[in-house]
Structure 1
Amino acid sequence: MTFPHLTLTQDPHDRLGLLRTDEAWLAARWDDADARVLVISGTRVKPGAGGIEWVPTALAPDGVRVLLGERDGVTWWAVIASAELAKAEPEQWLPLRGLLPYLGGDAVRQAPLVFHALGLAEWHWAHTFCPRCGGRLAPRAAGHELVCESCGKPQFPRSDPAVIMVIAAGEPGSPEERCLLGRNKSWPEGRYSTLAGFCEPGESLEDAVRREVLEETGVVVGEVTYFGNQPWPLPSSLMLGFHGRATSEDIRLEDDDVEDAQWFTREDMRRRTADGSLVLPGGVSISRSLVEHWYGGALPGSW
């Protein structure tokens, strides 16, 4: 079975991490006529009629130059320019979530580069001052490090680990087996998804799964097994997927963010996705992959 979330990471670039401080090499690659740049205004990108546009370095505005890496013999960059560019045309400059529709079909090969670029842009946007002394942070290492101009303390990009899980109950593989899905109170009617939450300091991933499910639904989880992961820089998450087995099934909603949670058999899921009364996450998300892996095949509809 092919998992939908893997399409966004199936063609990674060579990030060339050991060359990020080689100024002569960086200058030569920047001057290469074949090099291409993604222009970012603050944390937003302006797609063109043909999709996400990469321009020659000669056409890039002033800003922080970020080396993304190399693929197909081309050096790929991003320039994090002033947020003022987007303010002049706010409806045309989109955040990463708004760019996802432009990463379908053949354009999906751009996804690892775009995720890399906008993940760093979000980090630069949120980290202007040193958390130790309050001094101004300056970029180095081709945009992958920030150093305090006052105390010299370096800062590095972070990814926040978040667990996302399908919880099942009943005899595995039987018609009575069911999985647990929930819905946020802000979602349209019929939209359900896997449960998810951030890992806390000093907590194992498996315990984070058990804690989040208990907090959100009151369901107790026993065995937890790893499924896979997906980078999700919205703005800085790494989604870690798991399967869990419930040891209780009574649902008790105490988390204000969870409006409803239900158990779904495979037949429930087949029937309700077909008639549109159950709408599952989009095909590029690891949530979709988790659900379809448990179900045993593809399902119709998505949001």
Structure 2
Amino acid sequence: MRIATTSYRDGGSIPVVLLHAFPIDHRVWDDCAQALIEQADAQGFEPFPIYAPDMPGAGESPVPSMQDTGAVDDDGAYAEAMDNMARAIVDQVLTANGHERAFFVGISMGAYLALAIHRLFPQAVAGLAIVDSKSANDGPEARADRIRIAHECWETHSVASVMHFAQPHEGDSDFKKSDAFINTFTRWINEQTPAGVAWRELMAAGRRDETDQLEALRVPAGLVSGERDPSSNPAMMRTLAPLMRNTHVDFTQIDDAGHFSCFEKPREVAAALLTTYRRVCDEQMRLHPQGDDVDAALAPFTSATADGGASDGGDAAAPTAAASDAAPVFRGSHLISPIAMIQPLARLPLAQDVVDDRTADREKPGFLDEIMADRATQVFLVSHGLVAVPKASRANPRLAMLPADYVADAIAQAHGAVVMFMGTHTVGGQRHHYVAVDISRSMDAAPDARHVSADNDFGTIADDSSAHKLMFAELASKRFDWCDLRDFAPAAPSLDAGLAVRAVSLGAWHASQRFCPCCASPVEPANCGWAQRCTNKADGNRLLFPRIEPAVITMVIDSHDRVLLQHNTAFRGNLYSVCAGFVEAGESLEHAVRRECEEETGVKLADVKYMGSQVWPFPASLMAGFVAYAQSEDVHVDGVEVADARWMSRDDLTAAIARDEVTLPGRAAIARYMLSQWYGKEL
């Protein structure tokens, strides 16, 4: 069994082996591999080899002989082919290139192969990531279908039976519907041989159930799932995480991606894989420190480095008392500060901007009228911080969109409605424009969102709801439910979530500022809703822009890799979160982080590291997330803002949640994602 392998680059660190999907070959990884290289270099990783073998019968790998294939079941499925392929991969990709271990990443059929490699050669697996796949084998119907397709390929001498993989279907991602995807996949499938496609179908039909390997994993693991994957969607793949109970699992949902997420969203998948690969490297260094690697790992955390000096005789200077408190580093034991392993937040529900802002166009006279007259423009509604959604949008919540020409006249006649241009999104060469209309002033009261959230499946609005008091587009009030942004954004596609966040943020500003803060004259919308103009000509009709309230939110970790959770006096029930507070005038973000933590919990901080940010338009905050290393562990709450604070290990937190002693922030909160990053999998 001969394996043809593509090498994207060489390097001295742990190799990454990318295993492709059916019915194509290693090329499905090309763009993702390049993104992995670029992102790794940008983050300062030591260069590492990246290999992408072609499975037997795919790409440049020939179809194996029956002797190499092994035993055949009564129905024609290849009972030993998967294991024989796994042996060939380890021998010809790892051993032949001088490697003992690798980070194996498999998408779809490639994940079956990665799990088989772990079963046969656990010592060769330094880490494992499953992308758009599952661990179970085929049921009777799926197995029979694979065998049928294999026979069709042989009998017709064509690959027509699998060409449906290149065709878009209802619910597919925008990219999968594009000409770029269709043309590329059609070409790749046509370049496969019928015999090779048949061999892989029979190999997959005869594979064993690998679910037991999930619990057997003891190495860093990742799960990556395309949001629109019909066979391995996030809901299904999340069920794998609890089975991987003996390791930390990074779970990443790739928005607007289907079953081939590494090709549809290569940069996003690369970022997810790099998060797990960092854990692989950290684990390798912890278990196998060698020579200069020890000094290199220690360097950032020694007192000599921290003080900018060096010792006299080449050895690291003895750390001062303060440095030893702040740097839990021990040669050959604990090499890395806990916060060094915390990665930037890859995806936050209220930070999903994907549209072209067209900032320069906003100021052009008549631009908004042109956009509203364009047939490619869609309008959605917001009111009192809520967004309009289609009724019964149970599985896939979306913004309720209306053609601009359908509502343009009604909007123009609606007193108090604020029209806001959100941006332009281009898909497959087609431009789509989006406009939000805040109707808060057109309604007597806020719509009733008590029964219409993403968590309760968007229940219906009662007949007496104030949502029926719309002063325009009366038909819309009968069609749409209203959803709180905090429920909508985590469940919606990136495009819809980003548009909703923009609209709610701007709408809240327009609702709260109706008069000029300088002269108290009335204001009117300007720049397509992104500004206001004072109506006082004597004062120059000054232009006003939205103001934001910067805040810091900090996850504090101690030398035992525990997290500091606190219960604020303003929190309901048993909610616990991380430290947060507003930035004061003249204060840097980092200073605010240290001040807030010491004020509220008495804990002093050493290193502070930025994680990410997202808006929190309730009403106008921008949350800047940090992780910090505790210089002290003594906790003394202020009793005013904070009622309780405690250090918790991962086991402590798991047990506290199970006993209902602790509940965590909602799915829209940045704190939830910060804690998941520390915990090792989605909370």
Q: TM-score, normalised by structure 2?
A: 0.40
Of structures 1 and 2, the larger Rg is shown by: 2
Unaligned runs of 5+ in 2: 1-249, 253-344, 450-464, 468-479
What's the offset of the Cα at 1:89? 5.1
1:36 aligns with 2:347: no
Q: Using the TM superposition, name which of 284-293 and 204-213 deviates more.
A: 284-293
**Equivalent residue number for residue 99 of structure 1:** 485
Task: Output aligned runs, 1:128-143, within 5 Å.
Answer: 128-143=514-529
**Equivalent residue number for residue 119 of structure 1:** 505
Cα distance in structure 2, aligned partners of 1:88 and 1:205: 35
Cα contact 1:164–1:195 (8 A) shared by 2: yes
Secondary structure of the equivalent of 2:553?
strand
**Equivalent residue number for residue 578 of structure 2:** 194
Please point out which of 87, 110, 117 is paired with 2:445: 87
What's the offset of the Cα at 1:108? 4.5
Question: 1:29 and 1:84, CA in 2 relative to 1: closer, same or farther beyond 3 A?
Answer: closer
Which residue identity does 1:66 align to in structure 2?
M
Secondary structure of the equivalent of 1:6?
coil
Superposed CA RMSD: 2.5
Question: 1:113 and 1:177, CA in 2 relative to 1: closer, same or farther beyond 3 A?
Answer: same
Cα distance in structure 1, aligned partners of 2:366 and 2:622: 33
Which residue identity does 2:528 align to in structure 1?
A
Which residue identity does 1:55 align to in structure 2?
L
What's the offset of the Cα at 1:148? 1.4
Cα distance in structure 2, aligned partners of 1:267 and 1:278: 13
Secondary structure of the equivalent of 1:116?
helix
1:54 aligns with 2:401: yes
Q: Using the TM superposition, name which of 43-52 and 258-267 deviates more.
A: 43-52
Cα distance in structure 1, aligned partners of 2:531 and 2:668: 29
Cα contact 1:66–1:143 (8 A) shared by 2: yes
Cα contact 1:5–1:283 (8 A) shared by 2: no
Which residue identity does 1:204 align to in structure 2?
S
What's the offset of the Cα at 1:11? 5.2
Cα distance in structure 2, aligned partners of 1:289 and 1:103: 14
Cα contact 2:608–2:627 (8 A) shared by 1: yes
Q: Using the TM superposition, name which of 190-199 and 105-114 deviates more.
A: 105-114
Superposed CA offset, 1:195-227 (max 9, x none)? 101111110101100111111112122221111
Q: Using the TM superposition, name which of 75-84 and 109-118 deviates more.
A: 75-84
Cα contact 1:8–1:108 (8 A) shared by 2: no
Superposed CA offset, 1:160-208 (max 9, x none)? 21100111112xxxxx332111112343443211110111111010110
Cα distance in structure 2, aligned partners of 1:197 and 1:292: 21
Cα distance in structure 2, aligned partners of 1:82 and 1:267: 46
1:14 aligns with 2:356: yes
1:253 aligns with 2:253: no
1:75 aligns with 2:420: no
Question: 1:265 and 1:9, CA in 2 relative to 1: closer, same or farther beyond 3 A?
Answer: same
Q: How many residues were matched structurally? A: 293
Question: 1:33 and 1:164, CA in 2 relative to 1: closer, same or farther beyond 3 A?
Answer: same
Q: Using the TM superposition, name which of 258-267 and 22-31 deviates more.
A: 22-31
Question: 1:248 and 1:7, CA in 2 relative to 1: closer, same or farther beyond 3 A?
Answer: same
Cα contact 1:159–1:237 (8 A) shared by 2: yes
Question: 1:185 and 1:66, CA in 2 relative to 1: closer, same or farther beyond 3 A?
Answer: same
Superposed CA offset, 1:141-170 (max 9, x none)? 111111211112221112221100111112
Cα distance in structure 2, aligned partners of 1:275 and 1:253: 24
Superposed CA offset, 1:83-122 (max 9, x none)? 242528545559x982333345454431110110110111
Cα contact 1:4–1:285 (8 A) shared by 2: no
Task: Output aligned runs, 1:176-191, within 5 Å.
Answer: 176-191=560-575
Superposed CA offset, 1:251-285 (max 9, x none)? 22225232211111222123223443322223332
Secondary structure of the equivalent of 2:348?
helix
Question: 1:114 and 1:86, CA in 2 relative to 1: closer, same or farther beyond 3 A?
Answer: farther
Q: Using the TM superposition, name which of 195-204 and 57-66 deviates more.
A: 57-66
Which residue identity does 1:56 align to in structure 2?
P
What's the offset of the Cα at 1:294? 2.0
Cα distance in structure 2, aligned partners of 1:241 and 1:293: 12
Secondary structure of the equivalent of 2:655?
helix
**Equivalent residue number for residue 680 of structure 2:** 296
Cα contact 2:576–2:665 (8 A) shared by 1: yes
Question: 1:102 and 1:295, CA in 2 relative to 1: closer, same or farther beyond 3 A?
Answer: closer
What's the offset of the Cα at 1:243? 0.9
Secondary structure of the equivalent of 2:443?
helix
Secondary structure of the equivalent of 1:254?
coil
**Equivalent residue number for residue 628 of structure 2:** 244
Which structure has the higher relative contact order (CA within 8 Å, separation 6+)?
1
Question: 1:112 and 1:213, CA in 2 relative to 1: closer, same or farther beyond 3 A?
Answer: same
Unaligned runs of 5+ in 1: 171-175
Which residue identity does 1:169 align to in structure 2?
D
Cα distance in structure 1, aligned partners of 2:447 and 2:591: 45
Secondary structure of the equivalent of 1:142?
helix
Q: Using the TM superposition, name which of 130-139 and 58-67 deviates more.
A: 58-67
**Equivalent residue number for residue 548 of structure 2:** 159
1:212 aligns with 2:566: no
Question: 1:89 and 1:290, CA in 2 relative to 1: closer, same or farther beyond 3 A?
Answer: closer
Cα contact 1:41–1:82 (8 A) shared by 2: yes
Cα distance in structure 1, aligned partners of 2:653 and 2:631: 22
Q: TM-score, normalised by structure 1?
A: 0.86
Q: Using the TM superposition, name which of 200-209 and 224-233 deviates more.
A: 224-233
Cα contact 2:556–2:627 (8 A) shared by 1: yes
**Equivalent residue number for residue 149 of structure 1:** 535
Cα contact 1:185–1:258 (8 A) shared by 2: yes
